[in-house]
Amino acid sequence: MRAQIISIGNELLIGDTVNTNASWMGQFLNELGVDVQRVHTISDDKQIISNTIRQCLQESDLVITTGGLGPTHDDITKTTIAELFGVEMRQDEEVLIYIKELFASRNIPFSASNAWQAMVPENCEVLFNKAGTAPGMWFHEQDCFLAVLPGVPYEMKYLMKRRVASKLREHAKDIGYIHTKYLKTAGIGESTLSDQILGDLSEYLNDQVSLAFLPSFGQVTLRITGKGVSKEEAVSNTEALIALIREKAGKYIYGDDKEHSLSERVGEILMDQKKTISTAESCTGGLIASTITDIAGSSAYMLGGVVSYANEVKVQELGVSENDLEEDGAVSKKVALQMARGVAEKLGSDIGISTTGIAGPGGGTPEKPVGTVWIGFYSKEQHFAVKALLTKDRLVNKQRTTIMALEIIRRMLLGIDELPYALTKEMA
């Protein structure tokens, strides 16, 4: 099935709004097995809208428009389409009742421009929109399907998932079901994960099952996509590959949901194990504490932390040895070890995590270039530090150090002895 997308709106052409709708729809349709040939971004102009739709109806099997369905005078999509097909507008009673109830429930007066939302071209089937007030519309004309959707991303996505996908399945035999699973890993490089850990997966990959590696800031998310003629078949088609990935790479996987963050996972483990944590940060400057406390309910396990930017704070607040600071410098194994233990003992937490490094862009030396970072870990059972060499970019270094520290905590709590990137534990 060949499709074209028509994005309608002056705000897209003058760059006030980025056309994220088109890329979301492109991905959604692609996963359904629809081939998106072209995206047209056009202005709110009657003639241009009409000509573009007419041409696309001739060239493709499916045309989807977004935008121009609001209640104001520059929203002209549906009247333009009625004219194009030479039909009248009709009032859809079900939509009208729904909108009236919606306004009543919000105590907003109902006006004529709101009632206009319930008017649709008489040859359309309404795609009922429970995410907003503008109904979607479905046409079957000239051997082509036309879906007309609002431009509000939330409403467009609702209608694509709940209405358009099932319409396509109803009419086109080659449109199947899609199941997407995300497995999130941290502390392992994309190529190591792909080549050394997972190895050749070609016998598991085919038209029905695909795998993508999505790297970002010290994390790699695996996206496994299955297709099938039913939801169940799509799920079942992914199962063998997911089982194999879990078997081979299980210890690197911290989450199996797209929205599941590493700090949330660490929080869950701390809750399960009834353990508490505290942080002693130099080069990350509070980012680890902030990331941990992004999670609702983190006060159950996060006692607090010390941001020890100045050396005096490392000495006074964390009990770091002045002598070691002078001899080895602040960015050193000894200081990382002492900071981690210092904060755990001072705040009385089970776990202490520390960072000290040269975030950049200045401050590097030949022995300790920008990007040199030490992370310290302390618990009753273990006390070690890890050295990593990151990038020249200050914010990237803060971000990557934070992810690495959280992943060290996760692995140590779960008894996974291997450190991120197979780095080496250095003891006191």
Interacting residues with its own copies (CB under 8 A)? 12-20, 22-28, 30, 36-43, 48, 279, 281, 284-290, 292-294, 296-299, 302-310, 312-313, 316-317, 346-348, 359-362, 394-395, 398
Burial of 191 (0-12, 13-18, 19+ CB in 10 A): exposed
CB closer to its own copies, 99 vs 289: 289
Question: 226 has which bridge partners?
Answer: 179, 209
Q: CB 96 → its own copies: shortest distance, Å?
A: 30
Return d(Cα 36, Cα 38) in angstroms, integer: 6
Q: CB 41 → its own copies: shortest distance, Å?
A: 4
Residue 52, C-beta contacts closer than 8 angstroms, at least 6 positions apart: 6, 40, 42
Question: 120 has which bridge partners?
Answer: 90
Q: Is 293 left (phi over 0), alpha (psi -120 to 50) or beta?
A: alpha
CB closer to its own copies, 17 vs 192: 17
Q: CB 303 → its own copies: shortest distance, Å?
A: 4
CB closer to its own copies, 117 vs 402: 402
Q: CB 254 → its own copies: shortest distance, Å?
A: 20
Q: CB 44 → its own copies: shortest distance, Å?
A: 12
Peptide bond into 366 cis (omega under 30): no
* DSSP tag of 187: S
CB closer to its own copies, 193 vs 359: 359
CB closer to its own copies, 119 vs 303: 303
In one-letter notation, the amino acid at residue 82 is A
* DSSP tag of 426: B
CB closer to its own copies, 82 vs 344: 344
Pairing relationship of beta strands 136-141 and 125-127 according to DSSP bridges:
antiparallel
Residue 217, C-beta contacts closer than 8 angstroms, at least 6 positions apart: 396, 399, 400, 403
CB closer to its own copies, 117 vs 397: 397
CB closer to its own copies, 194 vs 279: 279
CB closer to its own copies, 114 vs 210: 210
Q: CB 370 → its own copies: shortest distance, Å?
A: 10
Helices (H), 66-208: 77-85, 93-105, 112-115, 153-159, 165-171, 190-191
Please write down the long-range contacts of 89-97, taking CB distance under 8 Å and 24 or more positions apart.
Answer: 89/119, 89/120, 89/121, 89/122, 90/119, 90/120, 90/121, 90/122, 91/115, 91/118, 91/119, 92/118, 92/119, 92/120, 92/126, 92/135, 93/118, 94/126, 94/128, 95/120, 95/126, 95/128, 95/135
Q: CB 358 → its own copies: shortest distance, Å?
A: 11
Q: CB 105 → its own copies: shortest distance, Å?
A: 17
Q: CB 92 → its own copies: shortest distance, Å?
A: 31
